[in-house]
Each structure stands twice: as structure tokens, then as C-alpha cells.
Amino acid sequence: MKVLILTDVQRSGMREDEADTLLQVKAVKKALLRLGHSVEVAAFSLNLILTARRIEKSGCDLVFNLVENLSSSRLLHLVPLVCQTLSVPYSGGSAYTLSVTGDKLVAKRQLGLAGLPTPPWFEDVAECSDFLQVPLMLKPVAQEASVGITDASVRTFSDKAQLSLALSEHPDLFAERYIDGREFNLSILPSGRVLPVCEMRFVDYPKDKVKIVGYEAKWQQESFAYQHTQRSYVFAPEQRVLVEELKRLAKEVYTLFGSSGYARVDFRVDEQNRPFILEMNSNPCITADSGFIAAASEAGMSYTEVIEQLLGSY
């Protein structure tokens, strides 16, 4: 089979998460070649006519979607949309899935309508009275890879004017209740199989440092957060009920958002052991040292076997 890896345009001065996409391309290409496929790599352009021509010219049987770094995650659904228009199969989430999960407010509204637990949030500062004097997380509405999330993202506001000013200065942000507690993520294969539950443990964190998996913890290897945030797949017997509940909720979220492609669902769990869904990331990072691949490895899968799974039935 001929596979076209569609990815981001390379440019100078890339952030760590953007440079990581180049590593994904190399790793996926190597695995595809090992599986006996022929591989070509092309850049995705927001000139969709140009992108469509590149896909058609390649003569590919399938597009492997590794486009991750557009200016807004609201645009990521354009990749499968172009493929669908050309009737070319593709890896990863559908246009619907990427459209919903690419806008965190749209996703939270869907979670709320479905009755699934997600941290309380507001969209109108006039209705924010219940969010004063409690820690809030200010998050980008349409960015992935923890871009824009730092320790300073967790803030407490004493009055509406203060909160309104913070959000008006950064209209790309929204505010949700910060859940002080543990953090988990669950990776899901295109078949809907949920991989082993992962807890992100904050090791030796100072009492005054917020425990979040922000940009530093994900990408900046020299930072305290990166070096002291560790994955764990080992849980005591008394944690079994929580682990099973996280699996159930992850599957419900995956179904709600279209049951397409591979995904990672992120959770916070409060001191009362109540889980809260933060978001679902469709097409999460799949470098060799990524969380998705670590979970697959925990399930006994090699990197090449994972890539074969991501190709689906093609």
C-alpha cells in the first residue's frame, strides 16, 4: 500500500511541541516501511486546493494524518475533510471528531449535555459569581499540546472586574474550576480498545507549586516539572473501582465524540475520588516516548504494531 504522510510545513524557530512532530514523521515512516508499505511525505497547506492536488498527485491509498500545528486546533478537521472529499482513506479522527474536540468550549458543552462529569466553567462573566474566591484554570479554547498552560494559568479572583479583565486581555482563554487532585490519562485505539490507565504523578513537588501537566511538564526536558512528573500504571487493589470508572468514562467520551481514530482522554480526580473529564485529544502524539505509545507498550504492543493498528482496516 502507498501511504502519504501529511504533516505540517517546516519552519525556523519551532516550539518544542512543533519540533516533536518531525520526530513523529520519522518514527511513523520507519514503521510503515517496516510493515512493507511505500511512503511519501507532503506538507499540508491551508490552500486546500493545493493540498488536494498534492494528495491526488501522490496516488496514495491512504493519508497518515500528522498535521498538528496549525494556528488553531479549530482548523485540524480540515485534513480529514479534504481526504473525505477526495474519497481517500486517512488515519486518525474524523472531521466531526476533530471539529468538536478542537474547540474546548464546544467539547465541554457536549460533555455537559451528555451528563458526563467535567469541571464547571462559564462563558459569560456576568454569571461567574460561583467562580470567585476559588482556584480557576485559564485555558486556551483552541490549542493542543498544553500550549499556553503554565503554573500561572491557575488563579483565584476576588471580584468579577478582576476576572473580566483577565479574560478580556486574553480572549483566546476560558476559565474552568481547577480540580486540585490527581491526574490521569487513558489512550484509546481506533478499535475502541482502552489501553492501560496512566496516572501522572507529581513527585517531590513543593507545596506551593500547582500540580498540572502544563507545557513545561510535557516538552521542556530541563524543567523541574518535566523531570518530576512521572507516568505510573500500578494501582493498589482499593483503586480498582476508580480505575474501572475511568475506563468506562473514557469509552463514553470516545463514543460521544464520534468513535473515530485514536485518542487520549485526560482526567482530574479530586480528594473525594470523583473523576472529572478535562478533554479528549484526538490524534495525540505518537513519538516513541509519548504517553500513547507508553500505554500501548504497557499493553504489550510494539511501536510497529501500534502503527499497524492506526491504519485501521486498510
Looking at 122-126, 135-139, 219-223, 301-305, which range is the least confident one? 122-126
Q: Does residue 205 lie within any of the structural domains?
A: yes
pLDDT band (50, 70, 90) for residue 104: very high
Average pLDDT for 174-185:
97
Q: Does residue 96 lie within any of the structural domains?
A: no
User: Which pLDDT belongs to residue 126?
Assistant: 85
Sheet holding 121-122, edge to edge: 121-122, 173-177, 135-140, 154-156
Per-residue pLDDT reduced to its tens digit, 265-307: 999 999 999 999 999 999 999 999 999 999 999 999 999 999 9
Whether residue 161 is predicted with pLDDT greater than 90 in this model: the reply is: yes
Looking at 40-49, 118-127, 198-207, 252-261, which range is the least confident one? 118-127
Tabulate helix, strand, coil % of the chain (nearest 5).
40, 20, 40
Per-residue pLDDT reduced to its tens digit, 26-79: 999 999 999 999 999 999 999 999 999 999 999 999 999 999 999 999 999 999
Query: Rounded to whole angstroms, how far apart are CA atoms 8 and 17?
Result: 12
Q: What are phi and psi of 144, to 5 degrees?
A: -115, 180
Q: Does residue 20 lie within any of the structural domains?
A: yes
User: Which pLDDT belongs to residue 274?
Assistant: 98
Residues 80 and 34 in one domain: yes
Residues 184 and 208 in one domain: yes
Q: Residue 22's domain spans which residues?
A: 2-91
Residues 108 and 255 in one domain: yes
User: Which pLDDT belongs to residue 41?
Assistant: 98
User: Which pLDDT belongs to residue 11?
Assistant: 86
Whether residue 95 is predicted with pLDDT greater than 90 in this model: the reply is: yes
**Cβ-contact 98, 77 below 8 angstroms:** yes
Look at phi and psi of residue 87 and say left if phi exceeds 0, alpha if psi is from -120 to 50, else beta.
left
Q: Does residue 131 lie within any of the structural domains?
A: yes
| Cβ-Cβ contacts under 8 Å for 222 (sequence gap 6 or more) | none
Q: Does residue 138 lie within any of the structural domains?
A: yes
Residues 113 and 258 in one domain: yes
User: Which pLDDT belongs to residue 313?
Assistant: 60
Residues 172 and 187 in one domain: no
Residues 221 and 261 in one domain: yes
Residues 192 and 285 in one domain: yes
Residue 36, domain CATH: 3.40.50.20
User: Which pLDDT belongs to residue 225?
Assistant: 97
Residues 110 and 222 in one domain: yes
Q: Does residue 256 lie within any of the structural domains?
A: yes
pLDDT band (50, 70, 90) for residue 314: low
Query: Rounded to whole angstroms, how far apart are CA atoms 90 and 133?
Result: 47
Residues 215 and 291 in one domain: yes
Residues 189 and 256 in one domain: yes
pLDDT band (50, 70, 90) for residue 312: confident
Query: Rounded to whole angstroms, how far apart are CA atoms 91 and 312?
Result: 7
**Cβ-contact 215, 149 below 8 angstroms:** yes
Q: Do the bridges between strand 2-7 and strand 62-66 make them parallel or antiparallel, or are there none, so unpaired?
A: parallel
Residues 107 and 245 in one domain: yes
Residues 48 and 160 in one domain: no
Whether residue 20 is predicted with pLDDT greater than 80 in this model: the reply is: yes
Residue 192, domain CATH: 3.30.470.20
Mean pLDDT of the chain: 96
Q: Does residue 14 lie within any of the structural domains?
A: yes
Please tell me the pTM assigned to this model: 0.96
Domain count within the chain: 3
User: Which pLDDT belongs to residue 307?
Assistant: 98
Report which residue type is found at 293.
Answer: I
Q: Does residue 302 lie within any of the structural domains?
A: yes
